Each structure stands twice: as structure tokens, then as C-alpha cells.
Amino acid sequence: MRIRRTSATLAGASALALVLASCGTAEVGGGGGGDESGGADTITIGVKYDQPGLGLLEGGTPSGFDVDVATYIAGELGYSPEQIEWTEAASANRETFLQQGTVDMVVATYSITDERKNVVDFAGPYYVAQQDIIVAADNTDIQGPEDLSGKVLCSASGSRSANNIVDSEEDGGLGIDAELREAGNYSECMELLANGTVDAVTTDNTILAGFAAQNPDAYRMVNNPFGEEKYGVGLPKGSTEMCEKVNQAITKMWEEGKALEFLEKAFGETGFAYAEEQPALEGCA
């Protein structure tokens, strides 16, 4: 996998959630009674609102890498940017939103896992991140996950990142004895790090790079990545046909160079090294 240096431009947005109609194979089109080829008036997409470089709400519309990816996919499905209804999809409510029809799809640093595939479908991955750690700038003690033993570690509700460190090796973790502190989202984790309540925050390196770029004098990324986080497009269970269309859009996005364009726009000035080759698609069940 080739790697190159990267950047971040940030912005934000408002949102309305519409209801998704479903039958047999899930239909797309925020409550518009449309079909799977973009026949409805709108499409409702869940993204993050608090993650610089990925999904950030600052003003009228969200911006970031995930938002650009979602906009491209929607375009390939037949929806213009004006037909997209954005809604905030925090880590803790992504499955619920898809199950209840609040959104048509989720593009929100949504890692593909076997556990999640029991309740939702995934297209992709469209990007593979790695997990890392961020600490206060003057903290030189923590250089990797092994240094978190006895430390207070923050992760967002609904995320599995901290479990990857503290769970036993039998359960797929590193078995490190850190004290977990759960917050509502990663913005809250960063506030806890800033005031010294926690010693470190762990999640995907893409997410941490955005926060570090916002205040480089206050935070230090450990830059000792481990594991893989396969970012998928979350879809309601039973969306096999839609999944295949989204996978076609993802492949086209990489072949046209748009994915690298979106990555450079998001991370080019942060010093974060992003992967520049399309990850292998996992296929649609």
C-alpha cells in the first residue's frame, strides 16, 4: 500500500432526517417513495458533525472527507447535492438510524465489523484507516498502546476503539489494563483530554489527525498505528442491490482520482499520511 502526506479543510451543516420506506430489499429516497436508482426527491445521509477533516458542522452544510464521499456516491445514484438531506449520525446511533429508517445510508467513519453486519448491511470499504492515540503535547510517557497500562483512556459511546486496547487477547484486544472513560463523542473526549481528566484518547488516525490539526500546540499524535478500521457505507439490512450500486460508485470514485482529491482536500495540510490506493471491496451479501 503506497502512502503519501496529507491535509485538512473543515466546514459544517444543518440536517433534516426523513423516513425510509422499506420492503424486501431496502429502498432509497428519504420518504419520497422512490426506488433504488435515485427516483425519490431526496436522499437522507447520516454523517458526523464533530470530526474535523471527516464530518464537521460549521455553518450551513457539513464538510470533510466522509461528506465528499457521500456526495459523490449520491451523485452516482442520481441525486444532486441539493437533493441530499444531511443528519448527524453519532457513533452510538448509527445502527438505530438505519434500522428505524431515519436515514437511507450512513457515511460516518463507520467501521465494518461482523457484529454490526448482523443488523445492517455495508458497502465498501471506501477507505481503511488505522487506530492510533492522541495525548497532551507535553506528555512524552505514552508512545504506544503498551504505555496505557494504568492510564485513563477515553473513547466515544458506540465506538469499539478502546475495547481493542483493553479487551483480552482471547476477545480480540491487546489486554492492556487501562481505565476506560466513555464520552458521548470524540469532541467530548478531546475536552476531557484538554482538562486532564483523561490521559489519552484512542480512535482512528483519520479522526485524531483532524483534531490534532485544529490545535497542534496542545495535542500530540503518538503516530504508532495499529489494527485496521475499514470504513463502510452503512445501509439498512436487506439492501443487496443498493450495496452493489454503492460499490460501483466507490470503485469509480477511486478510478477517477476523486478519492485522492477528497483525501488531499481533507488532510493535505495536517501532516497525516493517508493511504492512496483503493481497498478491496468486501462484496454484498
> What is the reported pTM?
0.80
Which has more confidence, 15 or 152? 152
Instruction: Let me know if the fold of 3-128+229-275 is the same as that of 129-227.
Output: yes
Cα of first residue to Cα of last residue in the chain, in angstroms, is 26
For domain 129-227, the CATH superfamily is: Periplasmic binding protein-like II (3.40.190.10)
What are the domain boundaries of the chain? 3-128+229-275, 129-227
Q: What pLDDT digit, counting tens, does each position of 204-220 carry?
A: 999 999 998 888 899 99
Q: What pLDDT digit, counting tens, does each position of 241-262 carry?
A: 999 999 999 999 999 999 999 9
Q: What pLDDT digit, counting tens, does each position of 86-100 carry?
A: 999 998 999 999 999
Rg, the chain, Cα only: 18
Q: What is the DSSP string of 84-125?
A: EEEEE--GGGHHHHHHHTS-SEE-SS-B--HHHHTTEEEEEE
**What's the CATH number for 3-128+229-275?**
3.40.190.10
